[in-house]
């Protein structure tokens, strides 16, 4: 555990991305199997231990320290693992017992029976020092929040692997990744040149997706419209459908397997192909607001009623594999032709083609983008006609060109401490609009401001607090936040009956009196569909 | 102020006026009415008693200032002519009457010259701690607990997550990193008054005898400490030094400078910070600190609790910091406690986020 704890500490404090890659590569080079594999699994979020949930850890800590002091400390630190690691009372006899190794911890948790897990954790916490406790708690809660994404860990793997395999890139790692399981012995063996490339790339694994850049005005000036094809950008979630050799998987953009939540799609994947599309909720071919799709996200299982109320649909953008044939090297135009032919031949249910949007020049496109305000459309996609399907986010071939945002002047109502790098700053704001004489909350935003503005907002919150509820402060109705958002929909979750899509702080109106901000009727009039 | 709730009768006579009748929280600061003076006022006043030289406690422009000779020297150094009217030194342990109040200054162990103010009036004794710590510090006299009826304490690190590890271990961390990266400059963020000089004495005690390089903002107070008899070894100005000389060197700078452009002139610097806040990893990350050193001039949680024990006061007022937790703890120990909600005292880390520290690789 000590080596892993040292790695976690070093990563937390390493400010530079390249420095992090160096630290990770060094760990892969020096730690033995299976320890490095478990570390990799922890960093990529591939480990989860059912019973070691935050609530259980909090409960455990409350058996050792005053629960009120624990709550105040957590409120201050903003990170449960760190709070408990720091507050856990050290026992003088700790020096006499050996702290567990990472392998011991993982094996212990994996083989533990229901009800034994927290007992194990308690014993380990007593033998570890503060760094070790932090690493252990981060590990078992499965969300490290230490500034290392799965992508960064894979980049480090590829970097380190180059010593023995000069030809590989991070996309090769991504390509084989989904067929592998922790502790990844065959992956390390391959990267050390001791074994063949793992064969898992041919299974129903996830293929790295091609992503787009937002189109900035200065980009547009340099683009030749004739070189690009346009299509609508649908307002759902990007998915990859993989049906290979009888296996069927639906993956989110980040490669998370969401098949379980969408049997109504998976049931109809009776083909052999890998497709790229947008997951939507649609009734009779009409796309429902994003809010309806949201009801079905982040669920392990799904009820018959949810299937009936929010039927899923996939609007197809691209084809990566047709049978065993890898089409990713073809141009967009060629792939599109293959996609259309494939669709015609297979006629899959619950899926349709995202139509191409023909246009003569920029003026026409600008007009269409402005006019696109109906449900389900977020804006336009521009794809270079000759672009191959490339992993990641290459600049140039694909652009997303979202329609202009809506804006509204709102009043800050509550502020909450952020997490991770923003812990201890009040960085998450709930804002509202006037309904008669009262403010009703209409959304929450935690982005769109600079670090310097965050400091000012944090100070404003601290100086204008009227009440405190744990980590949340209620503030005076005194600060106007101009909020930008993509659209607004009816919602039963909010007291106001409305929910915004992608709200973010557009401007902080230090100058504007709160009573002059917008009213609920104004927001209601922006609802479409 | 309402009459206190007396569920737990304190050991004093009912005919003595409760100290909250003669010590008041006014916009200028803590006011001792029968003496007509303020302690660490945040606005200029007629008469001020100043606990120590940090700028949120010692402010310019008071007509009359009473403090230890060390604190007065620091105030003169920092404020020059703006220091105020008459400056009256009072040595540790010596008594004095101001109006109807007996005043004594007792070491607080925070920085050179720092004092607790012991107030006696109408049969009650109140001790105002100022900022303090309990562990050994070569640059100043050690904290002396004074038994009292009301103890007025700080609570900068008033949460049980704040436990400062032994100083020596933290200094060893720095020396170890310097041995590991001999080609890199190590630049350590330190507060100009107190932390800077204490870190230097800790390094010297750990056997580090090479020159230590200083940002210009740290020089005057180091010189003053040396004049007042604190041994700091060889110090050199980093501001005009050639970049070559700073390879592998140890450089101290004010916290705002070390993660900023100033530090970039150094050779691939390891950015360190010496502060009690470094105990919380995310705090260190926010500051862009690669090597956090948990070295503080404030009492940690255990020291705060121990001090309440040592002074044995039946009543505690908390001036600034994380008041809520300390009030809760004191109450659970049968001590009457409340927060004074004094304004104007800054957290050690209130300089906010240094540029770009929130940016970078989000996960």
Compare all CA atoms of chain A with the CA of B259 and give the residue at the minimum distance.
A15
Taking an 8 Å cut-off on Cβ atoms, the answer to whether B281 and A148 are in contact is: no
Contacts with B358 from chain A: Cβ below 8 Å: 421-422, 451, 454
Q: Is the pLDDT of residue A450 over 70?
A: yes
Contacts with B271 from chain A: Cβ below 8 Å: 15
Is residue A360 within 8 A of residue A354, CB to CB? The reply is no
Q: Which of A132-136, A202-206, B53-57 has the lowest mean pLDDT?
A: A202-206
Q: Is the pLDDT of residue B361 over 50?
A: no
Between these two residues, A290 and B192, which has the higher pLDDT value? Answer: B192
Contacts with A9 from chain B: Cβ below 8 Å: 281
Q: CATH topology for A213-402?
A: D-amino Acid Aminotransferase; Chain A, domain 1 (3.30.470)
Q: How many contacts does A have with B, using Cβ atoms within 8 A?
A: 108
Q: Is the pLDDT of residue B346 over 60?
A: no
Mean pLDDT of all residues in A298-323 = 90
The predicted complex's ipTM stands at: 0.87
For chain A, give the mean pLDDT.
88
Q: Residue B307: what are its φ and ψ, rounded to 5°?
A: -65, -40
Q: Which of A86, A90, A452, A462 to mutate to test the interface with B (most CBs of B within 10 A)?
A: A86
Compare all CA atoms of chain A with the CA of B289 and give the residue at the minimum distance.
A13
Q: Which CATH superfamily is domain A406-524 in?
A: Nucleic acid-binding proteins (2.40.50.140)
Domains in chain B (CATH in brackets) are: 19-161+297-339 (3.60.15.10), 167-293 (3.40.50.12650)
Taking an 8 Å cut-off on Cβ atoms, the answer to whether B280 and A455 are in contact is: no
pLDDT per position as a tens digit, A326-373:
999 999 999 999 999 999 999 999 999 999 999 988 888 888 887 776
Contacts with B332 from chain A: Cβ below 8 Å: 66
- Extents of the domains making up chain A: 213-402, 406-524
Percent of chain A with pLDDT over 70: 95
Q: What is the pLDDT of residue B306?
A: 97
pLDDT per position as a tens digit, A39-78:
999 888 777 776 678 888 999 999 999 999 999 999 889 8
Q: What is the pLDDT of residue B353?
A: 29
Taking an 8 Å cut-off on Cβ atoms, the answer to whether A147 and B362 are in contact is: yes
pLDDT per position as a tens digit, A181-209:
889 999 999 999 999 988 755 567 788 88
Compare all CA atoms of chain B with the CA of A130 and give the residue at the minimum distance.
B279
pLDDT per position as a tens digit, A369-392:
877 766 678 889 999 999 999 887
A14, A69, A422 member nearest B329 (Cβ): A69
């Amino acid at each position: 555990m000590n080596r892993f704890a040292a790695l976690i500490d070093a990563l937390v404090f390493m400010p530079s991305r390249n420095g992090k890659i160096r630290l990770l590569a060094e760990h892969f080079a020096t730690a033995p199997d299976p320890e490095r594999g478990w570390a990799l699994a922890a960093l990529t979020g591939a480990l989860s231990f059912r019973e070691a949930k935050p609530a259980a850890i909090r409960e455990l800590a409350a058996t050792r320290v005053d629960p009120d002091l624990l709550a105040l400390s957590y409120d201050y630190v903003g990170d449960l693992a760190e709070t408990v690691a720091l507050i856990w009372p050290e026992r003088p006899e700790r020096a006499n017992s050996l702290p567990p190794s990472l392998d011991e911890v993982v094996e212990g948790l994996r083989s533990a029976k229901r009800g034994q897990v927290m007992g194990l954790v308690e014993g380990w916490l007593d033998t570890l020092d503060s760094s070790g406790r932090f690493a252990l708690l981060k590990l078992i809660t499965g969300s490290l929040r230490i500034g290392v994404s799965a992508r960064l860990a894979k980049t480090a793997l590829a970097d380190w692997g180059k010593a023995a395999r000069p030809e590989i890139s991070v996309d090769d790692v991504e390509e084989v990744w989904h067929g592998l399981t922790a502790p990844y012995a065959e992956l390390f063996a391959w990267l050390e040149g001791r074994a063949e490339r793992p064969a898992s790339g041919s299974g129903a694994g996830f293929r790295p997706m091609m992503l787009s850049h937002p189109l900035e005005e200065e980009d547009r000036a340099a683009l030749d419209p004739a070189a690009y094809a346009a299509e609508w950008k649908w307002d759902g979630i990007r998915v990859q459908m993989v049906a290979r050799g009888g296996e069927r998987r639906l993956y989110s953009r980040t490669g998370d397997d969401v098949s379980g939540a969408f049997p109504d799609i998976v049931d109809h994947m009776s083909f052999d192909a890998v497709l790229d599309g947008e997951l939507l909720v649609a009734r009779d071919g009409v796309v429902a607001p994003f809010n309806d799709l949201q009801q079905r996200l982040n669920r392990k299982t799904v009820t018959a009623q949810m299937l009936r109320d929010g039927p899923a649909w996939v609007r197809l953008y691209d084809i990566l594999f047709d049978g065993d044939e890898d089409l990713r090297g073809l141009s967009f135009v060629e792939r599109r032709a293959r996609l259309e032919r494939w669709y015609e031949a297979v006629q899959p249910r619950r899926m349709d083609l995202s139509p191409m949007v023909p246009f003569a020049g920029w003026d026409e496109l600008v007009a269409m983008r402005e006019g696109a305000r109906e449900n389900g459309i977020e804006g336009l996609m521009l794809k270079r006609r000759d672009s191959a399907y490339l992993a990641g986010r290459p600049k140039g071939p694909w652009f997303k060109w979202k329609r202009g945002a809506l804006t509204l002047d709102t009043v800050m109502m509550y502020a909450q401490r952020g997490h991770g790098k923003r812990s201890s700053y009040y960085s998450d704001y709930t804002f509202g609009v006037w309904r008669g004489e009262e403010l009703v909350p209409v959304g929450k935003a935690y982005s769109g401001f600079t670090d310097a503005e965050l400091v000012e907002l944090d100070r404003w919150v601290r100086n204008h607090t009227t009440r405190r509820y744990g980590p949340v402060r209620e503030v005076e109705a005194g600060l106007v936040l101009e909020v930008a958002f993509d659209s607004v929909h009816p919602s039963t979750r909010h007291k106001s009956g409305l929910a915004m899509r992608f709200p973010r702080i557009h401007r902080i109106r230090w100058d504007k009196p709160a009573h002059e901000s917008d009213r609920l009727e104004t927001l209601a009039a922006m609802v479409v569909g | 102020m309402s009459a206190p709730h007396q569920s737990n009768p304190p050991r004093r006579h009912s005919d003595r006026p409760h100290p909250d009748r003669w010590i008041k929280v006014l916009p200028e600061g803590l006011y001792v009415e029968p003496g007509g003076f303020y302690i660490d006022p945040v606005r200029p006043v007629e008469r001020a008693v100043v606990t120590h030289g940090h700028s949120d406690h010692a402010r310019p422009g008071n007509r009359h200032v009473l403090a230890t000779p060390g604190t007065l020297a620091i105030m003169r150094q920092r404020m020059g002519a703006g220091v105020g009217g008459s400056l009256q030194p009072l040595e540790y342990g010596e008594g004095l009457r101001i109006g109807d109040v007996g005043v004594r200054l007792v070491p607080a162990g925070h920085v050179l010259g720092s004092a607790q103010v012991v107030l006696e009036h109408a049969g009650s004794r109140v001790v105002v701690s100022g900022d303090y710590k309990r562990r050994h510090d070569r640059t100043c006299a050690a904290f002396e607990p004074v038994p009292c009826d009301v103890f007025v304490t700080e609570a900068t690190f008033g949460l049980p997550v704040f436990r400062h590890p032994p100083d020596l271990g933290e200094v060893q961390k720095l020396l170890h990193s310097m041995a590991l990266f001999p080609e890199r400059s190590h630049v350590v963020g330190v507060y100009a008054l107190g932390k800077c000089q204490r870190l230097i004495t800790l390094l010297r005690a750990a056997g580090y005898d090479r020159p230590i390089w200083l940002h210009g903002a740290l020089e005057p107070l180091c010189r003053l400490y040396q004049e007042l008899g604190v041994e700091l070894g060889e110090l050199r100005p980093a501001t005009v030094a050639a970049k070559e000389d700073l390879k592998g060197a140890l450089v101290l700078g004010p916290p705002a400078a070390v993660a900023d452009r100033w530090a970039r002139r150094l050779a691939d610097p390891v950015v360190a910070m010496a502060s009690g806040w470094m105990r919380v990893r995310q705090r260190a990350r926010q500051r862009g600190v690669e090597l956090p050193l948990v070295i503080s001039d404030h009492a940690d949680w255990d020291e705060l609790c121990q001090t309440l024990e040592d002074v044995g006061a039946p009543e505690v007022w908390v001036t600034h910091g994380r008041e809520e937790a300390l009030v809760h703890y004191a109450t659970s120990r049968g001590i009457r406690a409340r927060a004074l909600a004094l304004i104007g005292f800054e957290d050690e880390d209130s300089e906010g986020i240094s540029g770009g520290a929130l940016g970078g690789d989000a996960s």
